[in-house]
Structure 1
Amino acid sequence: MNTSRTFGHIDTWVFDLDNTLYPHHVNLWQQVDARIGEFVGAWLKVPPAEARRIQKDYYRRYGTTMRGMMTEHGVRADDYLAYVHQIDHSPLEPNPAMGAAIERLPGRKLILTNGSTDHADKILTRLGIGDHFEAVFDIIAAELEPKPAPQTYRKFLGLHQVDPARSAMFEDLARNLVIPHQLGMTTVLVVPDGSKQVVREDWELEGRDASHVDHVTDDLTEFLQGLV
């Protein structure tokens, strides 16, 4: 872990959404994950085990399963997003402590997600923190190119006129912090707190000791409270 980059100069705070603004063990993403598997299986007419293999292969190679399905099979993004985000958001509970900590951060707060704005809005509403964010940059704004594609970060920075050298990026996937770190952002990896079982691939939990990860936390609220 590289702790040379700190937060005194930060005026823009950029947050991933899923498994970052709420704990991994809520397993909300597990619902999306299951819907993705159903979509892949139905579209390709393959059994669940094969759909799962294809889903995870595309996720790893293309950044999102959706991008793989679009590239390899001509799937329309609208159809895919509408289906996979039909989930039950009730496991999410309001987090006023995190909201207060975000509010106290000096400067702007933005969301950068591979999900959709509709999905983001539902999550932010359930958490009770939507009012603290200036904007959501979603997969549509990214022109369907997901993180960790370099052009997606550059598009985000340009659209919102963000200076990466004065910005911090919070993410649950270490690979999505490589480009932000190269661009000069201070990076924070949000990891499971170990209190409950999480449903993740092994590679998704790797990278906490990588040189492009400046800080690691298993409690985002506590971490943010310590910055202000």
Structure 2
Amino acid sequence: MPHDHPMTVDAMLKQEFWEALYQRDDRIWSGNVNVNLQTEVEGLKPGRALDLGCGEGGDAIWLARHGWTVDGADISTTALARAEAAGREAGVTVDWLHRDILSWRPEDAYDLVSAQYMHLPPALRRDVFTAAAAAIRPGGSLLVVGHSPKAMRQFDGQKPPEELFFEPEEITGYLGDAWQWLVETCETRGEGHHTDAVYRARRLEA
């Protein structure tokens, strides 16, 4: 994280923080798909997908390459501009959306909503993931991946606030009527500083 932007929860919730992060370097992320997304999505039938917090677009572009119709949403206009350029270079079409995900409630219905490493305080985590689940049509899937509390890694010499991390079981509480869902993945993967919570649930057909 930028050294002139302290890693506090309040700072990390503001657009200015993320613009400063992305503007610090020409590219922050690798551009490659997150491995847990690839693992969890490869067996799903492509449909319409929403990549929440899409950043520079690596996951959204991978989904588009594999037959999905994709919306990518992020708070950072710098990240979205890079994602749009990367999508053009890859020869895929993605609808890039500038949204404050903390307050946005998706208007459309999706066959997949993916939230990769979206670390929020508990109350906001509940609101965002509940809204994500509500946007999934019958037969569609919610995929949430984040760092487990077992993975208290440092970033630029700073340790993120522990409240931003979660265990996969927590996500079941955000589905609404749990009887309408089938939890297909709920586990931690990796070890040490690379321990991730991986959660995927499918909304049952009516």
Shorter-chain TM-score category? Answer: 0.3 to 0.5
Q: Which has the higher contact order (CA 8 A, sep 6+)?
A: 1
Structure 2 length-normalised TM: 0.48
Higher-Rg structure is 1
Structure 1 or 2: larger helix share? Answer: 1
Structure 1 length-normalised TM: 0.44
